[in-house]
Amino acid sequence: MKRNFSVYLLNLIFFLNLNLFGQLKEIDTLAGIEYMDLFKITNKKKSREEKDNVLKYIIRKAKKEKNRKFLMISYHAMAIIHKEELMLKYCDSIIQKTKDNPDESYPLEAYQLIGGNYYRKQKYKEALDYYLIVKNYANQFNDDYQIFHSNYNIGIIKRKIKEYKSAIYLYQENFRYAKENQDKIDVYTKYISIAALANIYNDLGEPDSASFYNRIGIKEFKDLDNKKYFNHFSLNEAVSQYHRGEYKQALDSLIKYTRFFEKLKSKKNLSIAYFYIGNTYVKLDNEEKAVLYYKKLDTIFQIKQSIFPLTRKGYEYLIDYYEKKGDLKNQLLYINNLLKVDSVLHAQEIYINKKMLKEYDIPKLAAEKETILQQLKTEKNNTSYIIYATIIIVLILIILLYLQYLKRKTYKKRFEELLKDKSDGSTYKEKEVKESKIEIPDSIVNEIMKSLEKFEKENLYISNKITLAKLAKEINTNTQYLSKVVNHFKGKTFSNYLNELRINYITEKLKEDTQLRRFTIKAISEESGFNNAESFSKAFYKVNGIRPSYFLKELDKR
C-alpha cells in the first residue's frame, strides 16, 4: 500500500524517536544544519516549546530558500504538536499554499488533521465533509493508503449517523482490497478491514453476517498471535451469539473476553461488553446481575461523556427496575443520567429515533423526574405533595391524551394509504444481476432470482412450512447462496422478506374478501402462512404501521 513521502518522513524522524547522532551534543546555533537533521533535533526536544522553536527556525529557513516540500512538512509538524487553535492555523497555511497546486501529500494531510479534530469533538457531520475532501485528493493521486483509510473514516461516521448501507459498501471495498493485497498491508490495516464489517453487521442485528467476518478475524489474529485483535473478534462473536438467541453461550463468552479489555481499561470495548452482558442477564431473567452491568455502563459514561446510541436502553431498564422497587432516589438518579445521555446524543445530531421519542421521549422523562421529586418531598410536607401530584397527574393525562390523539391520527392516515395501495406482494427494487458483488456466479444468481420470481407470483410463501433451508432445497441451491441473494437484491433478511410477502398478500385479500374479515386473527394468521397470531400481529404492524385488529375494524366501517 503506497504511502506518501511526507507521512513517511514524519513517522520516521518525528514520532519513532530515532537518533541519528548517537550522543548528540547541545548546539548553540542551528545555522548550516540540513533539514533532515533539524527534524531529528526537533524529535529530541522534550517540551512543546523547544520543539516549537526548532520548527519555527525550519519554517524561516524553508521560506528563505523557497523550499516548498520542507516548508509544508514543518507546518504539518507544527499542526501535530499544537492544540486546536494553532493546529487549525497551520493547517490553513498548508491549504492556502497548496490548494491550487496540490501534490500527493498536501493539502490532503491538512484536511485529514482537521477532519480528525472534528471527529474527536464528536462533530461528525463536519468531520465527514473533511474526510470526503481527503478521499477526493487520494483518488486524484491514486494513493491507496489514503483511499483505504478515508473509506474507513467515512464509514465510521456514516455508521454513527445510521447510514449503514453506504458504510457497508465502503467497508466491503476495503475488505476486498485487503484480501487482494495481504502482502502489502500492515496488521492494523488488516484488522480494521475485517472488524468494521463484523461490528456494523452486529449493529444491524444480522448475526450470521457478523459471524462470517468474526470467524475470519479470529483465525487471522490467532495465527498472528495478536491477543488484542483476537479478543476483539471473540468478544464480537459473543455479541453475535446474543443476537441469535444463544444466551448462555453468549454470556460465558462475553464475561471471558471482557476480562481482557478490563485489564487494558479499554472503555470503548467495555461499554459494548457491559451493555450486552446486561442484556443477556435480562434474557436469562437475572435482574440483579443485569442492573450490576448496566451500572458499570453508566460509570463509563460518567467518565468519558461519550456513549453508543444502542446502549441507551440500559438506562431505561435501570429506571423501570427502580420504579418497580419503589426506590425513588435511584429512579431519579438514572432519569437524570439518561437526560444527560440524551443531551450528548442529540448534541451530536446522530440519534433521531422516532420509536424512542414516541415511547420514552424527553418530556416524559422530565414529567417522571418532577413526579419523583414531589414524592420525595412528601416525607416532609404531605400537603405540598397532594398539590404537586395533582398538577403532574393532570399534565401526564394531557400528554397521554395528546399521544393517543396522534396515534389515532397516524393510524387513520396509514389506513387510508393502505386502501389506495395496490400491492402485488413484491415491493422490492432489485438491482441488475450484472451489478452483483456478492461473490456468487451470475448464472447461479439468475437461477435463484427466477425461482424467487415464481415463488412470489404463485404465492408459494403462504405455506407455513417454508424455511430458508426448504426453499433452498426446492430451487436446487444452498442456504448461503439463497440468503446472500435475498439480502443483496431484496434488501432484507430472508425472514423479513418472507414476512413482508405474506403481509402484503393478506392485506390485499382482506380488502377484497369480506368473508375472510370475519375470521379470528389466529385464523387469518394461518391463512397467510404464520404459525401464531402474535408473530402475525407483529409482522403486520412492522410492514403496515397499524395493528391488524384496527385494520379489520376500519374495513368493517367501510
> Whole-prediction pTM value?
0.55
What whole-number distance in Å separates Cα of residue 97 and Cα of residue 84?
A: 20
Average confidence (pLDDT) over 502-515? 89
Nearest of 347, 383, 342 to residue 366 by alpha carbon: 342
Structural Rg of the chain based on CA atoms: 29
Among 116-120, 197-201, 346-350, 455-459, which stretch is predicted with the lowest mean pLDDT? 346-350
Over range 94-117, report the average pLDDT: 91
Please report which confidence band the pLDDT of residue 420 belongs to, taking 50, 70 and 90 as the band edges: confident
Residue 381 to residue 270: CA distance in whole angstroms: 44
Distance CA 1, CA 182 (A): 10
Cβ-in-10-Å burial (0-12, 13-18, 19+) of 129 comes to: middle
In this structure, are residues 157 and 124 in contact, taking their beta carbons and an 8 Å threshold? yes
In this structure, of 152-156, 203-207, 425-429, the range with the lowest mean pLDDT score is 425-429
Residue 353 exposure: Cα atoms within 13 Å on the Cβ side? 18
* Tens of pLDDT, residues 47-75: 888 888 899 999 999 999 899 989 999 89
Express each pLDDT in 435-483 by its tens digit: 546 789 889 999 999 999 999 999 999 888 899 999 999 999 999 999 9
Amino acid code (one letter) for 459: N
Distance CA 385, CA 374 (A): 6
| pLDDT the model gives residue 170 | 92
Q: Model confidence over 279-334: pLDDT tens digits? A: 999 999 999 999 999 999 999 888 877 777 788 899 999 999 999 999 999 988 98
Separation between Cα atoms, residue 178 and residue 216, nearest integer Å: 13
124-128, 151-155, 494-498: lowest mean pLDDT where? 124-128
Residue 10 has pLDDT above 90, yes or no: no
Burial code (b: 16+ CB inside 10 Å, e: under 16) for 469-499 equals: eebbeebebebebbbbbbbbbbeebbebbbb
pLDDT of residue 409: 66
Residues 6+ apart with CB under 8 A from 215: 237
Q: Please state whether the peptide bond connecting residue 107 to the residue before it is cis, i.e. omega within 30 degrees of 0.
A: yes
> Residue 191 in contact with residue 199, Cβ under 8 Å?
no
Cβ-based burial of 403 (10 A; exposed 0-12, middle 13-18, buried ≥19): middle
Residues whose CB is less than 8 angstroms from the CB of residue 301 and which lie 6 or more positions away in sequence, other chains included = 271, 307, 337, 340, 341
Tell me which residue of 185, 202, 197, 187 sits closest to 152, measured CA to CA.
197
Ranking 232-236, 312-316, 414-418, 515-519 by mean pLDDT, the lowest is 414-418
Amino acid identity of residue 142, one-letter, is: N
Q: DSSP code of 19?
A: -
User: How many beta carbons lie within 10 A of that of residue 407, not counting itself?
Assistant: 12
pLDDT higher than threshold 70 for residue 20: no
- Cα torsion 238, 239, 242, 247: sign: positive
Dihedral sign (CA 67, 73, 76, 78): negative
What is the average pLDDT across 119-135? Answer: 85
CB contact burial 293-326 (16+ within 10 A = b; e otherwise): bbebbbebbeeeeebbbbbbbbbbbbbebbbeee
Alpha-carbon dihedral 412, 413, 418, 422, rounded to 10 degrees = 150
Q: 227-273 pLDDT, tens per residue? A: 999 999 999 999 999 999 999 999 999 999 999 988 988 888 888 99
Average pLDDT over all residues of the chain: 83
Per-residue pLDDT tens over the stretch 529-551 = 998 999 999 999 999 888 998 88
Question: Where would I find the H helices in 5-47?
Answer: 5-10, 35-44
CA angle 97, 86, 303 (to 5 degrees): 135
